[in-house]
Amino acid sequence: MADSFVSGLVGTLKDMAKEKVDLLLGVPGEIQKLQSTLRNIQSVLLDAEKRRIEDKAVNDWLMELKDVMYDADDVLDEWRTAAEKCTPGESPSKRFKGNIFSIFAGLSDEVKFRHEVGIKIKDLNDRLEDISARRSKLQLHVSAAEPRVVPRVSRITSPVMESDMVGEQLEEDAKALVEQLTKQDPSKNVVVLAIVGIGGIGKTTLAQKVFNDGKIKASFRTTIWVCVSQEFSETDLLRNIVKGAGGSHDGEQSRSLLEPSLEGILRGNKFLLVLDDVWDARIWDDLLRNPLQGGAAGSRVLVTTRNEGIAREMKAAHVHLMKLLPPEDGWSLLCKKATMNAGEQRDAQDLKDTGMKIVEKCGGLPLAIKTIGGVLCTRGLNRNAWEEVLRSAAWSRTGLPEGVHGALNLSYQDLPAHLKQCFLYCALFPEDYVFRGSAIVRLWIAEGFVEARGDVSLEEAGEQYHRELFHRSLLQSVQLYDLDYDEHSKMHDLLRSLGHFLSRDESLFISNVQNEWRSAAVTMKLRRLSIVATETMDIRDIVSWTRQNESVRTLLLEGIHDSVKDIDDSLKNLVRLRVLHLTYTNIDILPHYIGNLIHLRYLNVSHSRVMELPESICNLTNLQFLLLRGCDQLRHIPRGIARLFNLRTLDCTYTHLESLPCGIGRLKHLNKLGGFVVNTGNDGMCPLEALCGLQELRYLSVGRLERAWLEAEPGRDTSVLKGNHKLKNLHLHCSSTLTSDDYTEEQIERIAKVLNVALHPPSSVVWLRLQNFFGRRYPSWMASASISSLLPNISRLELNYCVHWPLLPPLGKLPSLEFLFIRGARAVTTIGPEFFGCEAAATAGHERERNSKRPSSSSSSTSPPSSFPKLRQLELLEMTNMEVWDWVAEGFAMRRLDKLVLGNCPKLKSLPEGLIRQATCLTTLFLADVCALKSIRGFPCVKEMSIIGESDLEIVADLPALELLNLGLFGCRNNHLPEWLAQQSFTTLQRLDVFGTTQQLVRCLQNGADWPMIERFPIFSIRDGRGNYINFIKHSCTFDTNLVDDDAAFADPAEEEEEEEEKHQ
């Protein structure tokens, strides 16, 4: 880690030496001397890093060296900052190429400033000379310069989501656990089972395999996964379970209110709750047992823990003890992680003898094998390299924290210096914290860990760092949302423990003020502090202590509700801050002296109560990231914001800004601009044209576009986004409160021109959203016959509330489209050939049908292009006037469609026959308030179907793969189950879930009118809005209900609907 720091300083000193800065500072030769000393020290750093764990003297030497380097970094940063104020906007490589004397000619305190910097540099040299002199006493060996490892993964690839399950034993274990979870135990409703094993043995991997098993999904109405961890908060845990069960906690902080909310959601509900990484059995007896007891018979809690005693205390009915991997399975896992593809896996068999010795050294521990596999993957299939890893001294566990395998330390030691810093920084966050790739990269950049080379931006380089850590198994990939293009990861708690240990002299994470943080803090010179607060935490002592640590570079505070004034006061002293993260706090006004934090690169006050930003913030010329997301009380940004010429991210989304100041277009390094508010350019505010110069943007969201109609001047033919070939995400919005009735015909015509011309997206865009446009037609670049070449990379498209478009664009031509969401297209009455991009289909349909019956000739042998060739998910919502969906497509269409959602389309009478014939991959069908639909039949692959709300369905048939059926009948006109349920056998159906009225529920009792219809289903459950339920399992003849009052059968349906509406208000 120190090596990367030294490299950066040497580079800066080299630039300064070229410009003879030492002469200007009155310390001739000192810059070159500093550079030379650092290079000499750099030659032994690799050896020092390896020995620091076992040799306290070496560790102390390294700490002293880093202390000098941090001071040097601050001194040089002061110099750069002063230079930039005189030559703003120049790239770092050019700043020292001019005459440095002229740069400072205008400074009134020039002599004093130069003298102070010169003295500091001379002092740094004296300290470094003393440190360098002690190298020989410590017998530090010179090492060859560390080569920069070129990753074997392409810079543009994403982590592959793949299972780490290997071997027949784990498959059998997963199958056995599924059987245990789904077998019936009539003695009690909620049964606990546990997976027990040492850290890194694969408990979570096995639990995930079980959780995602098809039989589990069919057996449980609700499945919930929560990470508990050692540092859990009771209220956070309750909120996460409520959310996972499909409920809403509304930010509630009180356990006394959350517990009954959870109990109400799960009452009568057959659920599976996975509690991953439990460290304290009291979580069950003192917190969860009572609110979970109302669950239906067959409900299960699956716990993963390192301690078998915890499983016993929780009265686990079954405990699965994890075993270490047998050698052959260990080799399979190592081979999988050490190679890039199946071909390399075959070739790796030539190295099996060495590989098996490595597996033996890993002790059969999957986490150790995976991380060593990541090391070997960087070496390729080279026997000498593999044997060198086998012989490495870093396997030693001496001095490591309990439970941390030597393989993890070896994997860390093998990292290039730049990745070591990034890895250790991840340990500043809570256990099981999910890192969003772009968010952690911003922090790495702000700390100076990321180096851009060639034409690669800092963000792109940082994203590659993130991928490298993932591919080395030092971070674990997490997939939160199917539609999220960002990469997410988290850190295994053993690797986090290693990170805490290795950074213990300069970094501190606090989640509980009762912990012994004071003893750890006494001996350290703190550089990074992270505090995650609970609602009851009093952090005044920590804040008071922080004031004494002027050396802090990163301050991460989240969820702080008290002591806001104390935090403000502390900022006066933290003059070396690079990163200030104050999210979800009660801070309403940032202090004016924040403008004195000249080193600050990152300021995040998202989701706080900040109402205004001080003008002094415009003095922070080093600021790269300003994040104001969700500050809904913020109305204005200081006009001098354009002076922040190093700004790379400005995120104002979900604020109520009236406008942005003029000059935003001069921020040439902007990579992300969220919440750009359109203005006419009057009163010093920012017009749409300001976007023209922002050629580095990769993310852009623009709001209040109804104001932009004045900008579409006659003769204008150039998009403000023209030439921006890096833009990936583009979100364009008009205000949601306005409709076309609020505008004249001229204004409607002008907004159409703005959309057609000024906002033509570049071809690089991957995610496009258009919202609340009040024009009467979609933009011309969507209507073009060449839409496939104009928008070749669109993968996700959202068209929301473009309520006056009578037709949909020819989206079938988009070659990369995977996710399509259309909401509120209320003027559309028919989806026809234009949607598929078949220009001639309407007039030539019958002719094609006749020709298809004739033998094909050589002149017509070329098959027509496929429509929607990559579409996986289609959602049509609030299309209240759509009556007809015609399937008139040339060739094939939607052959990859996996999920179809239709919501609030009350006039749609039928699903197109072409959809049935061609969407052969469709497995999920969700229909809500599609009232006029008469028939659903013929879908060969649909496994899961939901039908919610009012429905006139008469036929549901020919669904040979259907396994899960969910009916939401609450408020329906009929107080009985639909008749089509009795008309078909549904032989493959495993589970039927109904949410209905009390009258519908009573009819499902064993003596009820609908019982003959439902007794043939393997699993059946029905609930009403009053907490009544019935659960039935056929193979065990289990029938469970809490409906004991027959009077409930005569409940007024209108009264039930009123009660349900009140709940959701």
Mean pLDDT (whole number) for 444-452? 93
Distance CA 793, CA 816 (A): 5
**Cα torsion 173, 178, 183, 185: sign:** positive
> Which pLDDT band holds residue 25 (cuts at 50, 70, 90)?
low
Which of the given ranges, 112-116, 225-229, 480-484, has the highest pLDDT on average? 225-229
Q: What are phi and psi of 892, to 5 degrees?
A: -90, 160
* C-alpha gyration radius of the chain: 32
Maximal CA-CA distance, the chain: 100
Instruction: Give me 680's structure tokens.
Output: 């006419």
Nearest-10 crossing angle of helices 383-391, 352-361: 20
Mean pLDDT (whole number) for 474-486? 70
pLDDT for residue 95 is more than 50: no
Whole-Å CA distances, 548 to 525, 528, 531, 541, 704: 10, 13, 17, 12, 46
SS3 letters across 103-167:
HCCCCCCHHHHHHHHHHHHHHHHHHHHHHHHCCCCCCCCCCCCCCCCCCCCCCCCCCCCCCCCCC
Nearest to 729 by CA among 645, 671, 812: 671
Nearest to 753 by CA among 725, 777, 733: 777
Determine how β-strand 1019-1023 pairs with β-strand 964-968. Answer: unpaired
pLDDT at residue 113, as a whole number: 77
The CB density around residue 420, as the number of other CB atoms within 10 Å, is 22
CA–centroid distance for 868 within its chain: 27
Distance CA 831, CA 900 (A): 15
pLDDT at residue 81, as a whole number: 85
Distance CA 668, CA 662 (A): 14
pLDDT at residue 784, as a whole number: 74
Mean pLDDT (whole number) for 139-154? 61
Looking at residue 324, the DSSP 8-state letter turns out to be P
Distance CA 17, CA 34 (A): 10
Nearest to 360 by CA among 324, 306, 400, 314: 324
Distance CA 324, CA 812 (A): 51
pLDDT for residue 138 is more than 60: yes
pLDDT for residue 1038 is more than 60: yes
> Which pLDDT band holds residue 481 (cuts at 50, 70, 90)?
low
pLDDT at residue 849, as a whole number: 37
- Residue 19 in contact with residue 435, Cβ under 8 Å? no
pLDDT at residue 1052, as a whole number: 55
Distance CA 526, CA 426 (A): 16
The continuous run of DSSP H or E covering 974 comes out as none
CA–centroid distance for 62 within its chain: 36
Count of CA atoms in the C-beta half-sphere (13 A) of 56: 0
CA–centroid distance for 593 within its chain: 34
pLDDT digits (tens, 9 = 90+) for 527-581: 999 988 765 566 667 767 777 778 899 999 887 665 555 566 777 888 999 999 9
pLDDT digits (tens, 9 = 90+) for 212-222: 998 898 889 89
Mean pLDDT (whole number) for 620-638? 94
> Which pLDDT band holds residue 829 (cuts at 50, 70, 90)?
very high
- Residue 781 in contact with residue 755, Cβ under 8 Å? no
- Residue 340 in contact with residue 152, Cβ under 8 Å? yes
Alpha helices, DSSP H only, in 157-254? 168-182, 203-211, 214-219, 234-244
The more confident residue out of 157 and 204 is 204
Mean pLDDT (whole number) for 351-378? 95
DSSP conformation letters of 682-735: GGGBPBGGGGGG-TT-SEEEEE-GGGGGGG--TT----TTTT-TT--EEEEE--
Instruction: Give me 328's structure tokens.
Output: 């052959």
pLDDT digits (tens, 9 = 90+) for 918-973: 999 999 999 999 999 999 999 999 999 999 998 889 999 999 999 999 999 766 66
CA–centroid distance for 570 within its chain: 32
pLDDT at residue 741, as a whole number: 66
Mean pLDDT (whole number) for 280-289? 91
pLDDT digits (tens, 9 = 90+) for 372-391: 999 999 999 999 999 999 99
- The residues, any chain, with a CB within 8 Å of residue 802's CB and separated by 6 or more, are 770, 771, 772, 773, 775, 778, 824, 825
Whole-Å CA distances, 971 to 37, 324, 1024, 1053: 80, 54, 10, 7
pLDDT at residue 274, as a whole number: 96
DSSP conformation letters of 622-673: T--EEE-TT-TT-----GGGGG-TT--EEE-TTS--S--BTTGGG-TT--EE
With 0-12 / 13-18 / 19 or more C-beta atoms within 10 angstroms meaning exposed / middle / buried, residue 1047 is exposed
Mean pLDDT (whole number) for 39-57? 86
